[in-house]
């Protein structure tokens, strides 16, 4: 693998960002140790205590899928082998805004309907077999070890979850991938560094998910994968209804304190209040598979480490530890993957990454997804955050794009490519696209989307048996 940059790199956190970072580091460091508080081996493809939100539907955006496929060839094949439904984002995943279903279109982008623990398990099993990579699980990371002058991080302090004394693990490079609970701001402050400026968008979102046993009597999906009545300021209750490997799942979202109840009756009443009837009708009489789970998400938070004037050498931050996204836009895993590509680019220089340069590049791959999700959230008048003229313009224009996408497959495709982080948001602002959105056939109602006239009939379900291998445990209610 060529010359190594150093002997030992340590990754704090063994989830999506942590495993992707370890994969990158394994080319450049002789040993890579991933540390996590959970017993990841025992978790397998099941839930684990540190990630309670894994019960909720996770979509992997196309950009993230492409990066994962590049790093671990055979990702989609492996998912198909365990029964995960895979289909085109534009024709098997039905987006709906303000009650209008998008026109069907082939995008060439694969929607992989794997649940979160299955994706994590895949990343873990492919990373941990790489030469030099090892896992210290059931281990709490309690702090950083710095050089005497505090200009460099030289290791971490850890403690086994089953007791025992605190221990120092030394490293040439330490990467924080501990997610939303990252203690980097506090640890760095204790070492005499400034806190990174934070940007917040406070929407007080709640996810509530209930799983159902298939086949469904009233199935709006057939062989398709998902129906996504997305929340908008006009219809602030949203949903993701998906066919997974072993079940159907319905996630209901509410913002500004509005939350779907977890009891069946209340959950169904909430589903009934969505702007499209198909979701409620699909689950109304369906057999519930497990107790509903609920997760509250108060705010998106971006930590601008690139704006710090001083930062210790030998320390980097990736994934949710640097930026926590509103989950409804499904960006988190993909931005973690983008962060891994940034890390890879810096490691490819053959020298230890320089934090300032790394964080500058991390900021540049974070900008587009952050701007898109923050702008969409700030379209709700009650959501707290900084509104700019660009935000206001975006919130005037995007509902028009979404409305035209209901009739015009070309606009639907362009929108889906943008939210999949394949094309930049500017691609929707090209003069040709603006012309199509404002004056094209879809805008003039000359193209008609049959999905908005009547709902597609139930198609036959594929065998649900192949799904059994992929079973995921649910927490107690």
Ligand X SMILES: Cc1cc2nc3c(=O)[nH]c(=O)nc-3n(C[C@H](O)[C@H](O)[C@H](O)COP(=O)(O)OP(=O)(O)OC[C@H]3O[C@@H](n4cnc5c(N)ncnc54)[C@H](O)[C@@H]3O)c2cc1C
Residues that bind ligand X (CB under 6 A): 13-18, 35-38, 50-51, 53, 56, 58-59, 140-141, 177-181, 207, 295, 297, 319-321, 327, 330-334, 336
Joined together, the tokens standing for residue 354 give 């320089």
User: What is the closest distance, in whole angstroms, from the C-beta atom of residue 53 to ligand X in the complex?
Assistant: 4
- Measured CA angle at 375 (ends 256, 275), to 5 deg: 55
User: What is the closest distance, in whole angstroms, from the C-beta atom of residue 48 to ligand X in the complex?
Assistant: 7
Neighbours of 162 (CB within 10 A): 8
- Measured CA angle at 420 (ends 464, 337), to 5 deg: 90
> For ligand X, which is the closer residue by CB, 327 or 409?
327
Residue 116: its H or E element = helix 116-127
Place of tokens 């990066």: 67
Joined together, the tokens standing for residue 217 give 């009597």
User: What is the closest distance, in whole angstroms, from the C-beta atom of residue 134 to ligand X in the complex?
Assistant: 15
> For ligand X, which is the closer residue by CB, 224 or 281?
224
- Helical pair 355-378 and 389-405, crossing angle rounded to 10 deg: 60
Percent helix, percent strand, percent coil in the chain, to nearest 5: 35, 25, 40
> For ligand X, which is the closer residue by CB, 182 or 449?
182
- Check: CB of residue 442 under 8 Å from CB of residue 407: yes
User: What is the closest distance, in whole angstroms, from the C-beta atom of residue 149 to ligand X in the complex?
Assistant: 26
User: What is the closest distance, in whole angstroms, from the C-beta atom of residue 268 to ligand X in the complex?
Assistant: 21
User: What is the closest distance, in whole angstroms, from the C-beta atom of residue 192 to ligand X in the complex?
Assistant: 21
> For ligand X, which is the closer residue by CB, 158 or 378?
158
Place of tokens 């790489």: 130
> For ligand X, which is the closer residue by CB, 373 or 407?
373
> For ligand X, which is the closer residue by CB, 8 or 56?
56
| φ/ψ of residue 11, rounded to 5 | -110, 125
- Check: CB of residue 243 under 8 Å from CB of residue 279: no
| φ/ψ of residue 144, rounded to 5 | -100, 150
Residue nearest to ligand X (CB): 332
User: What is the closest distance, in whole angstroms, from the C-beta atom of residue 117 to ligand X in the complex?
Assistant: 11
Q: What is the CA radius of gyration of the chain?
A: 23
User: What is the closest distance, in whole angstroms, from the C-beta atom of residue 321 to ligand X in the complex?
Assistant: 6
> For ligand X, which is the closer residue by CB, 259 or 436?
259
- Check: CB of residue 188 under 8 Å from CB of residue 199: no
Place of tokens 């997305």: 230
> For ligand X, which is the closer residue by CB, 37 or 346?
37
- Helical pair 389-405 and 431-439, crossing angle rounded to 10 deg: 60
3-state secondary structure of 252: strand
> For ligand X, which is the closer residue by CB, 324 or 398?
324
Could you tell me how many helices (H) and strands (E) the chain has, helices first? 13, 18
User: What is the closest distance, in whole angstroms, from the C-beta atom of residue 230 to ligand X in the complex?
Assistant: 13
């Amino acid at each position: 693998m060529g010359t190594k940059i150093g002997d030992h790199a340590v990754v704090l956190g063994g989830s999506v960002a942590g495993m992707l970072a370890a994969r990158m580091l394994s080319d450049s460091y002789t040993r890579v140790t991933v540390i996590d508080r959970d017993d990841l081996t025992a978790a397998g493809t099941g839930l684990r205590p540190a990630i309670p939100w894994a019960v909720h539907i996770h979509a992997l955006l196309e950009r993230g899928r492409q990066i994962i496929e590049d790093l671990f060839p055979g990702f989609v094949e492996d998912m198909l082998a365990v029964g995960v439904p895979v289909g085109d984002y534009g024709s098997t995943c039905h987006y709906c805004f303000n009650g209008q279903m998008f026109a069907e279109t082939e995008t060439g982008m694969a929607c992989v309907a794997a649940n979160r623990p299955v994706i994590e398990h895949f990343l873990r099993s492919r990373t941990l077999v790489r030469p030099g990579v090892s896992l210290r699980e059931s281990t709490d990371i309690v702090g950083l070890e710095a050089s005497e002058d505090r200009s460099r991080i030289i290791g971490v302090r850890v403690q086994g979850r089953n007791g025992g004394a605190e221990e120092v693990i030394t490293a040439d490079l330490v990467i924080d991938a501990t997610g939303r609970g990252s203690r980097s701001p506090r640890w760095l402050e204790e070492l005499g560094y400034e806190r990174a400026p934070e940007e917040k968008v406070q929407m007080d979102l709640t996810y509530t998910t209930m799983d159902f046993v298939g086949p469904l009597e009233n199935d709006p999906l057939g062989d398709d994968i998902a129906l996504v009545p997305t929340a908008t300021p006009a219809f602030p209750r949203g949903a993701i209804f998906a066919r997974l490997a072993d079940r159907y799942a319905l996630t209901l979202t509410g913002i500004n304190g509005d939350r779907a109840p977890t009891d069946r009756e209340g959950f169904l009443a909430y589903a009934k209040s969505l702007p499209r009837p198909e979701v409620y009708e699909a689950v109304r009489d369906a057999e519930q598979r497990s107790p509903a789970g609920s997760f509250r998400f108060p705010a998106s938070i971006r930590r601008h480490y690139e704006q710090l004037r001083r930062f210790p050498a030998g320390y980097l931050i990736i994934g949710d530890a640097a930026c926590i996204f509103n989950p409804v836009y499904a960006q988190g895993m993909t931005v973690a993957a983008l962060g891994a590509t940034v890390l890879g680019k810096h490691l490819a220089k053959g020298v230890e990454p320089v934090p300032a340069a790394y964080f500058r590049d991390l900021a540049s791959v974070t900008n587009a997804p952050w701007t898109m999700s923050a702008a969409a959230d700030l379209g709700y008048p009650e959501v707290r955050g900084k509104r700019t003229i660009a935000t206001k313009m975006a919130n005037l224009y995007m509902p028009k794009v979404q409305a035209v996408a209901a009739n015009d497959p070309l606009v639907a495709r362009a929108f889906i490519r943008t939210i999949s982080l394949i094309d930049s948001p500017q691609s929707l602002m090209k003069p040709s696209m603006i012309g199509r959105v404002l004056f094209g056939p879809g805008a003039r109602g000359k193209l008609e989307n049959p999905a908005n006239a009547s709902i597609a009939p139930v198609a036959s379900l594929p065998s649900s048996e192949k799904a059994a291998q992929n079973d995921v445990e649910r927490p107690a209610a």
